[in-house]
Structures are given as structure tokens and as C-alpha cells.
């Protein structure tokens, strides 16, 4: 007679469910890789087109900042736009899609704390968007000369911006009840702040009355630091930019975590 | 006597009405139903289909106005913003006409409800017309909305209204037909995204919306003349401003010729059931 097998007890894990986090991260990453057309090739194509049309439309107007060519000025701006919208979409679409298709239950019922889930979603979306941004930079470098002044500033500000927009994406994904809501957040909030951030023109050249409007835009600060990493000059203090970004990342991250932990529009 | 007795019999009403409905040469009711379905499909989500393109177009206008720093940049003696506005209207009109037909057909194919369109007694011509008309309607509505929003910020003269209407309708039709063809060809969303990314977006952005193609190096100028979207944008702009990069008459002919060819192709795809009927 065979000895009776003891039923398997619950899996033990320490204070952090690393395996759960890794599984969720892997899922988000594989999903990103499966949709290369939408997640990498599309943004890369759009970025190159932006670069071309701005060169053709504005190429005869001289340098936007002293000693900086138009291409070197535009490239970081275009990459930052792609990074911000990509991080937002990566987190928002994925969460919202899971929600309306009912798959969110798989994540909600997993033995993961809200912090683990939200943290992983934000990190995965930010990481994916950074990969796209790197691909776009690599493609652009084939056509134009991109200086690199401070690699750490580039990486740091890119990461901060990606985390910020991934958090906003999670919030939008949780709050939206229809595709309409989600796309309204994208069209009326994310695109305007990402496009009107000084990506395509030097804010310091604008009239003083409208400058404050841009300085209230977090993407402007992210872009200042990011562009500084390439061209070595900024129109604003970098400490201020870093401070604004970090506090916003913190605030949006906490809001996303709090909404998820409450189960707002997630748990019936 | 005989006929009288027949007429007194209770009339077999059911038998008469259950016969095939006589459609005549054109199934107007079917065509109208398909058209209404196509229009209601985008009106249902008008934030995404009407308001969003309007806002995006205004954003582009704002960016270019700011990037130029308010300095008196001119193209052929016209303020740059005035040069830009018609191009932007046309671009958003084209992209939306394309999005309507292509997304409708690809979604129906992926979800399997394309049979609802293939089963009814609609001929290939009626299918082509119904889908294309839906796309044209969306394109023109978005174009009008974008134009109205822009005219708050930019004064747009109207040098030749006929040219404006001709190019708006034909531009919407061209892209709606391209959307039908692309939608029938694509078997997955990814393939549709590829058509949008590699054909529609580059051709519509690089067609002289943002700059006069005289700014291009001469070999590229030559190539730009093979882009039918160039003639649409150029002719549309001519209708507003009375200046054009290319010859207006050639533009009229090219646009018409391309549309006839695309219509024939779309019609043939529906008639043969290419990638529609297994």
C-alpha cells in the first residue's frame, strides 16, 4: 500500500512575492514584444517623420539654442514624447484591457500585495517605453549626429519621466470605464502635455507671458534634464527639474497604489 | 367566373410576403442600412472620432506657431500659419476616412461578424459604395470640425470653393477606398497597423502639409510628385489660398484617375471575395 501523499501546503514566500512580481513583469514584457508593430515600429516611424517634417519646415531658421543644431535639439524632444506616450499607453491599455475583458481577476486574486502589483505594472511599462526610446535613438543616430554630454542625466530623467507616465497610465486604466474615457485621457491630457512641452521649440524664446504655462508642465522639466544630457545646456535649473519630477512620480505612484489597494472600480 | 371564385378565396398573404423581396437594380434599403451602420459606428464614440482629431490638429497648429516664434515666416508671400492650416485639415480628413473603413472591416473580419455584411443581398458595388460613403462622411465631418476650430485662430480666405470641395470629397474617398482595400488585405490588427505606419502616415505627413515641396532637394521634389496625397493637399490648399506647388489641372486628373483605379480594385476584392470568403 502506497503511503498517502500529504496535500501540498500553501507555497511559502518571504515578505515580498518575488516570483509573482517576476511573472507579472514577464507577462507585460512578452506582451510588449508580441506587438512590435504597435509598440516599437510605429513609434519609431512616427518619430522619424516628425524629425523630417520639422527639419524641412524649420530648417532654415538657424539654431534653436546657441551652438545647438536643430536636429540635436529636436531628437531628445521627439524621443521624450514617444517615451511619455509609450509609458502611459503601456500601463493604461494593458490594465484597462484586462479590466473590460475580465482578466483582471487573475491579477487581483494572485497572492500579491497592491504595492507589488502596481509597482510591477509601473516598472514594466516604464521599462518597455525605455526600450522603445533606445531603439528610436539608435535609428535616429543613423541619420543625424546626436551628441551625448551626460549619459546619467539622460538615463535618470528618462526613467523618471517613464515612471511618471506609467503611473498616470495605471490611474487612467483604473478609472476608465469605457474605451472612450481612456482615449479621452490620452487625447485631452497626455498628448497636450507631452506635445506642448518645448519638444519642438526653445521655451526660453517664447514671450514671457506664456513661458510660465510651459514651466508648469512636468514634461517640460523632464525634457530639460533629458535634453541637457545630450546637448549639455539647459534653460532651467536641473535641481528644480529633478525635484519637480521626483515629487510628481511619488505623488502619482502613491495615488495609483491607493486606488488599486481600495479596489476602486476594480473589485465589485 | 373562374377568376371570381379565386378572388373570393382567402388570400395567401403569408405566401406572397415570404417570397424574395424584389430589390430592383439597386438594393437601396440594404445600401442605406450599411451606410447607417458605418456612420453610427463612429458617431457612437464621437470623442475618439471627431473631437480627438480636432484637438490633435489644433495641437499641431499651436506647435508650429510656437516653433516659429511668431516671426514673420512666409511661404510664397503668405503667412506660414495660413499655408499650414489647409494642409492640416486635409491630413486629418484623410487619416480619419482611412481609419473608418479599415478598422470597420478588420474588426469585422477578426471578430467574425463580417458574414453579417457578406450574407445580405448586397452586390460588390453596393458594398464598396456603402463602406466608402461611411468613410467619406467621417472624413468630411472631421474636416469641417477641424476647419471650424482653426478658423478661430487663422483667417482662411476661400479663393476657389469648388476646388476645396472637389479635393475634400475626393481625398476622403481615396483614403476610404484605401481603407477598404487595406482592411480586406489585412488578416490581423498588426498588419493593419503596418499599413498605417508604413503607407498612410508617411505619405500623408510627407506630402507637403508642413512645407512647400520646393524646399526639397530636386530629386525628392520629383519623387514627391508621384505621391497622390501631394495633389490632394496641394489642390485643397489652392482652393483656399489660390497658390499651388503643382498644376491644378494635373491635380484634378491625377486624383480622379487614382480614385477610379482604387474603386475598381475594391470592387474586384468584394466581387471575388479575396480574403473575405474562405
Q: Smallest Cα–Cα separation from A259: which of A99, A75, A19?
A: A99
Residues B130-167 have pLDDT tens digits of 999 999 999 999 999 999 999 999 999 999 999 999 99
Widest CA span of chain A, in angstroms?
A: 90
* Res. B79 pLDDT band, cuts 50 70 90: confident
* Res. B16 pLDDT band, cuts 50 70 90: low
Instruction: Read off the pLDDT of each residue in B69-84 and give the average, rounded to a whole number.
Output: 78
> Alpha-carbon dihedral of residues A224, A139, A58, B143, nearest 10 degrees?
-100
A31, A33, A36, A37: best mutation site toward chain B, by most B Cβ within 10 Å? A37
Does residue A105 register a pLDDT over 80?
yes
Residues A51-80 have pLDDT tens digits of 998 888 887 777 788 888 889 999 999 999
Q: What is the 3-state secondary structure (H, E, C) of A116-169?
A: HHHHHHHHHHHHHHHHHHHHHHHHHHHHCCCCCCCHHHHHHHHHHHHHHHHHHH
User: Cβ of A205 and B59 within 8 Å?
Assistant: no
Average pLDDT, chain A: 91
Q: Which of A45, A60, A200 sits opposite B67 (nearest CB)?
A: A200
User: Cβ of B68 and A52 within 8 Å?
Assistant: no
Q: Does A200 touch chain B (CB under 8 A)?
A: yes
Residues A77-98 have pLDDT tens digits of 999 999 999 999 999 999 999 9
- Interface size, chain A vs chain B, as Cβ–Cβ contacts under 8 Å: 86
pLDDT at B67: 79
Distances (CA, A) of B193 to A107, A130, A179: 29, 21, 19
| Domain segments of chain A as ranges | 36-262
Hey, CA dihedral for A141, A144, A150, A153, is it positive or negative?
negative
Instruction: Read off the pLDDT of each residue in A139-148 and give the average, rounded to a whole number.
Output: 93
Q: Which of B45, B68, B70 sits opposite A180 (nearest CB)?
A: B45
Which of chain A's residues have a Cβ under 8 Å away from the Cβ of B47?
Answer: 180, 183-184, 187
User: For cell 514651466, what's the residue?
Assistant: A215
Does residue A187 register a pLDDT over 70?
yes
Terminal-to-terminal C-alpha distance of chain A: 49
Does residue B6 register a pLDDT over 50?
no
Residues above pLDDT 90, as percent of chain A: 70
User: Cβ of A191 and B68 within 8 Å?
Assistant: no
Hey, CA dihedral for A216, A218, A224, A225, is it positive or negative?
positive
User: Cβ of A57 and B216 within 8 Å?
Assistant: no
Residues above pLDDT 70, as percent of chain B: 92
Residues B194-238 have pLDDT tens digits of 899 889 998 988 888 888 888 888 888 888 889 999 999 999 999
- List the beta bridge partners of residue A83: none
* Res. A1 pLDDT band, cuts 50 70 90: low
Q: Smallest Cα–Cα separation from B166: which of B245, B242, B256, B250?
A: B256
> Å from A49 to nearest chain B CA?
7
Hey, CA dihedral for B235, B240, B244, B248, is it positive or negative?
positive
User: Cβ of B193 and A42 within 8 Å?
Assistant: yes
**Is-contact B210 B84, C-beta < 8 A?**
yes
Alpha-carbon distance of B35 to B22, in angstroms, equals: 20
Average pLDDT, chain B: 89
pLDDT at A12: 80
User: Least CA distance to A192: which residue of chain B?
Assistant: B59
User: Least CA distance to B214: which residue of chain A?
Assistant: A56
User: Cβ of A54 and B67 within 8 Å?
Assistant: yes
Least confident piece of the model among A36-40, A89-93, A162-166: A36-40
Does residue A213 register a pLDDT over 60?
yes
pLDDT at B209: 87
B130: its cell numbers: 456603402
B182, B211, B215, B224: best mutation site toward chain A, by most A Cβ within 10 Å? B211
Pick the more confident residue, B14 or B164: B164
Which stretch, A16-20, A123-127, A220-224, B219-223, has highest mean pLDDT? A123-127
Q: Smallest Cα–Cα separation from B216: which of B228, B195, B230?
A: B230
Pick the more confident residue, A246 or B224: A246
In this structure, what are the phi and psi dihedrals at residue A37, rounded to the nearest 5 degrees? -55, -45
pLDDT at B116: 94
Does residue B71 register a pLDDT over 70?
no
In this structure, what are the phi and psi dihedrals at residue B78, rounded to the nearest 5 degrees? -110, 145
User: Cβ of A45 and B56 within 8 Å?
Assistant: no
Residues B244-261 have pLDDT tens digits of 888 889 999 999 999 999
Amino acid at each position: 500500500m502506497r503511503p498517502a501523499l500529504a496535500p501540498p501546503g500553501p507555497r511559502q514566500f518571504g515578505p515580498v512575492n518575488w516570483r509573482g512580481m517576476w511573472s507579472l513583469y514577464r507577462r507585460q514584457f512578452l506582451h510588449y514584444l508580441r506587438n512590435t508593430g504597435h509598440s516599437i515600429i510605429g513609434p519609431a516611424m512616427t518619430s522619424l517623420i516628425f524629425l523630417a517634417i520639422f527639419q524641412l519646415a524649420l530648417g532654415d531658421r538657424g539654431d534653436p539654442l546657441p551652438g545647438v543644431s536643430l536636429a540635436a535639439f529636436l531628437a531628445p524632444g521627439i524621443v521624450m514624447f514617444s517615451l511619455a506616450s509609450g509609458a502611459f499607453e503601456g500601463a493604461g491599455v494593458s490594465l484597462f484591457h484586462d479590466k473590460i475583458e475580465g482578466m483582471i481577476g487573475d491579477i487581483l486574486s494572485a497572492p500579491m500585495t497592491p504595492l507589488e502589483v502596481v509597482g510591477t505594472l509601473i516598472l514594466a511599462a516604464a521599462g518597455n517605453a525605455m526600450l522603445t526610446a533606445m531603439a528610436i535613438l539608435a535609428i535616429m543616430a543613423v541619420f543625424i549626429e546626436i551628441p551625448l554630454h551626460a549619459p546619467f542625466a539622460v538615463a535618470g530623467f528618462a526613467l523618471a519621466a517613464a515612471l511618471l507616465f506609467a503611473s498616470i497610465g495605471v490611474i487612467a486604466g483604473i478609472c476608465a470605464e469605457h474605451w472612450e474615457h481612456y482615449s479621452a485621457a490620452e487625447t485631452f491630457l497626455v498628448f497636450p502635455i507631452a506635445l506642448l512641452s518645448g519638444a519642438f521649440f526653445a521655451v526660453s524664446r517664447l514671450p514671457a507671458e506664456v513661458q510660465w504655462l510651459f514651466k508648469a508642465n512636468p514634461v517640460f522639466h523632464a525634457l530639460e534634464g533629458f535634453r541637457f544630457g545630450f546637448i549639455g545646456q539647459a534653460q532651467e535649473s536641473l535641481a528644480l527639474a529633478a525635484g519637480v519630477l521626483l515629487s510628481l512620480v511619488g505623488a502619482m505612484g502613491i495615488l495609483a497604489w491607493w486606488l488599486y489597494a481600495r479596489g476602486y472600480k476594480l473589485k465589485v | 367566373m373562374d377568376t371570381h371564385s379565386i378572388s373570393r378565396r382567402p388570400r395567401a398573404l403569408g405566401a406572397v410576403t415570404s417570397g424574395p423581396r424584389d430589390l430592383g437594380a439597386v438594393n437601396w434599403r440594404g445600401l442605406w442600412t450599411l451606410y447607417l451602420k458605418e456612420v453610427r459606428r463612429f458617431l457612437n464614440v464621437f470623442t475618439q472620432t471627431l473631437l480627438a482629431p480636432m484637438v490633435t490638429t489644433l495641437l499641431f497648429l499651436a506647435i508650429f506657431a510656437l516653433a516659429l516664434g511668431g516671426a514673420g515666416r512666409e511661404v510664397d508671400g503668405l503667412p506660414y500659419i495660413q499655408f499650414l492650416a489647409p494642409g492640416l485639415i486635409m491630413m486629418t480628413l484623410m487619416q480619419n476616412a482611412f481609419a473608418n473603413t479599415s478598422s470597420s472591416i478588420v474588426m469585422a473580419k477578426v471578430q467574425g461578424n463580417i458574414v453579417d455584411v457578406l450574407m445580405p443581398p448586397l452586390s460588390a458595388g453596393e458594398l464598396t459604395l456603402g463602406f466608402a460613403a461611411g468613410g467619406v462622411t467621417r472624413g468630411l465631418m472631421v474636416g469641417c470640425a477641424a476647419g471650424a476650430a482653426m478658423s478661430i485662430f487663422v483667417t482662411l480666405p476661400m479663393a476657389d470653393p469648388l476646388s476645396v470641395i472637389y479635393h475634400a470629397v475626393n481625398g476622403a474617398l481615396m483614403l476610404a477606398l484605401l481603407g477598404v482595400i487595406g482592411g480586406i488585405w489585412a488578416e490581423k490588427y498588426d498588419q493593419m497597423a503596418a499599413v498605417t505606419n508604413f503607407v498612410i502616415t508617411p505619405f500623408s505627413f510627407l506630402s507637403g502639409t508642413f512645407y512647400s515641396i520646393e524646399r526639397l532637394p530636386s530629386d525628392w521634389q520629383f519623387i514627391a510628385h508621384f505621391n497622390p496625397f501631394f495633389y490632394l493637399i496641394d489642390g485643397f490648399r489652392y482652393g483656399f489660398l489660390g497658390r499651388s506647388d503643382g498644376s491644378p489641372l494635373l491635380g484634378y486628373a491625377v486624383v480622379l484617375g487614382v480614385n477610379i483605379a482604387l474603386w475598381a480594385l475594391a470592387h474586384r476584392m468584394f466581387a471575388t471575395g479575396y480574403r473575405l470568403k474562405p
